[in-house]
Structure 1
Amino acid sequence: MKHDFYVYFLIAFCICNLTSATESDPPNIILVMSDDQGWGDLGCYGSRLIQTPHLDRMAAEGTRFTNCYSGSAVCAPTRCVLMTGLHSGHCTRRDNRPSVGKGPYYKRPLVPLKPEDITVATVLKKAGYVTGGFGKWGLGDFDTTGAPAKHGFDEFYGYLDQVHAHNYYTDRLWDTDQYVALPENKGKSKAVWSHDLIMERALHFVEKNQNQRFFLYLPVTLPHGKYEMPSLAPYEDRAWTKNEKTHAAMVTRLDKDMGELFALLKKLNLDKNTIVFFTGDNGPNKPLLARMKSAGPFKGTKRSLNEGGIRCPMIVRWPDHVPAGRVSEFAWSHTDILATISDLAAVQDIPDTDGVSVVPTLMGKKQKPLEYIYWEFHNPFHQAIRKDHWKGIRFGLKEPVKLYDLSNDPEETRDLAAQHPELARKLADLLDGARTVSPHWPGQDTQ
Structure 2
Amino acid sequence: MTSKKTYWIALFAILFINCSKPIYSEEKVNPERPNIIYILADDMGVYDLGCYGQQKIKTPNIDKMAAEGMLFTQHYAGSTVCAPSRGTLMTGYHTGHGYVKGNFAMPSEGNLPLPDKTITVAEKLKEAGYKTGIIGKWGLGGPSDEGHPNKQGFDYSFCYLDQRLAHEYYPDHLWWNYEKVMLDREYSHDLFAEESLDFIRKNKANPFFLYLPFTIPHGKYQVPDDEPYSNESWTEKQKNYAAMTTRMDKDIGRIFSLLDSLNLDENTIVFFASDNGGVKEISSFFGSQGPFRGYKTDCYEGGIRSPLIVRWPGKIEAGSKSDHVSAFWDFLPTACDLVGCKAPTEIDGISFLPALLNQDQEQHKLLYWEYFNYNYSWKPGSTNPRNYLLSEAIRVGDWKGVRKNLYKNPDADIELYNLKNDIGEENDVADQYPEIVKELTDLMLSEHNDSEYFKVNQH
Asked if these proteins are the same fold (TM beyond 0.5), I'd say: yes
Match of 1:76 among 53, 64, 83: 83
2:139–2:163 CA contact under 8 A, matched in 1? yes
The aligned counterpart of 1:59 is 66
1:86–1:353 CA contact under 8 A, matched in 2? yes
Q: Distance in 1 between matches of 2:355 and 2:140?
A: 30
After superposition, what is the alpha-carbon deviation per residue over 1:27-49, rounded to whole angstroms, capped at 9, x for unaligned?
10000000011111000111111
SS at 1:206 equivalent: helix
Q: Distance in 2 between matches of 1:135 and 1:289?
A: 23
After superposition, what is the alpha-carbon deviation per residue over 1:44-66, rounded to whole angstroms, capped at 9, x for unaligned?
11111111111111101100001
Q: Distance in 1 between matches of 2:264 and 2:107?
A: 39
Mark the CA change 1:351 to 1:137 in structure 2 (over 3 Å): closer, same or farther.
farther
SS at 1:439 equivalent: coil
Query: Is 1:206 matched with 2:216?
Result: no
Q: Distance in 2 between matches of 1:152 and 1:123?
A: 8
Query: Is 1:294 matched with 2:301?
Result: no
SS at 2:437 equivalent: helix
Alignment of 1:418-437 (within 5 A): 418-437=431-450
- Paired residue total: 411
Match of 1:220 among 214, 225, 237: 214
Q: Distance in 1 between matches of 2:453 and 2:172?
A: 32
Q: Distance in 2 between matches of 1:124 and 1:107?
A: 28
After superposition, what is the alpha-carbon deviation per residue over 1:197-218, rounded to whole angstroms, capped at 9, x for unaligned?
1111111000110011000000
Query: Is 1:40 matched with 2:42?
Result: no
Query: Is 1:352 matched with 2:354?
Result: no
Query: Is 1:154 matched with 2:155?
Result: yes
Percent identity over paired residues: 46
Question: Could you say what the CA RMSD is over the residues aligned between the two structures, in angstroms?
Answer: 1.6
C-alpha deviation, 1:130, in angstroms: 0.3
1:305–1:375 CA contact under 8 A, matched in 2? yes
The amino acid across from 1:213 in the alignment is P
Q: Distance in 1 between matches of 2:325 and 2:458?
A: 29
C-alpha deviation, 1:351, in angstroms: 5.2
The aligned counterpart of 2:390 is 381
Q: Distance in 2 between matches of 1:335 and 1:392?
A: 19
1:76–1:93 CA contact under 8 A, matched in 2? yes
The aligned counterpart of 2:257 is 263
After superposition, what is the alpha-carbon deviation per residue over 1:62-121, rounded to whole angstroms, capped at 9, x for unaligned?
000010000001111111110011111111111113xxxxx755268x421101111110
Q: Distance in 1 between matches of 2:112 and 2:285?
A: 36
C-alpha deviation, 1:295, in angstroms: 1.2
The aligned counterpart of 2:108 is 106
Runs of 4 or more, structure 1, over 4 Å off, are none
Alignment of 1:126-275 (within 5 A): 126-182=127-183, 184-185=184-185, 192-275=186-269
The amino acid across from 2:317 in the alignment is P
Q: Which runs of 5+ in 1 are unaligned?
A: 1-22, 98-102, 186-191
The aligned counterpart of 1:14 is none
The amino acid across from 1:164 in the alignment is L
Q: Report which stretch shifted further, 349-358 or 266-275.
A: 349-358
C-alpha deviation, 1:24, in angstroms: 9.6
The aligned counterpart of 1:391 is 400
Q: Report which stretch shifted further, 281-290 or 262-271.
A: 281-290
Q: Distance in 2 between matches of 1:204 and 1:406?
A: 43
After superposition, what is the alpha-carbon deviation per residue over 1:362-404, rounded to whole angstroms, capped at 9, x for unaligned?
1111313211111010136111011111111112342221111
Q: Distance in 2 between matches of 1:381 and 1:60?
A: 39
SS at 2:310 equivalent: strand
The amino acid across from 2:416 in the alignment is L
Mark the CA change 1:269 to 1:407 in structure 2 (over 3 Å): closer, same or farther.
same
The amino acid across from 2:413 in the alignment is P
After superposition, what is the alpha-carbon deviation per residue over 1:244-295, rounded to whole angstroms, capped at 9, x for unaligned?
1111111111111111010000000000000000000001111013321111
Query: Is 1:443 matched with 2:445?
Result: no
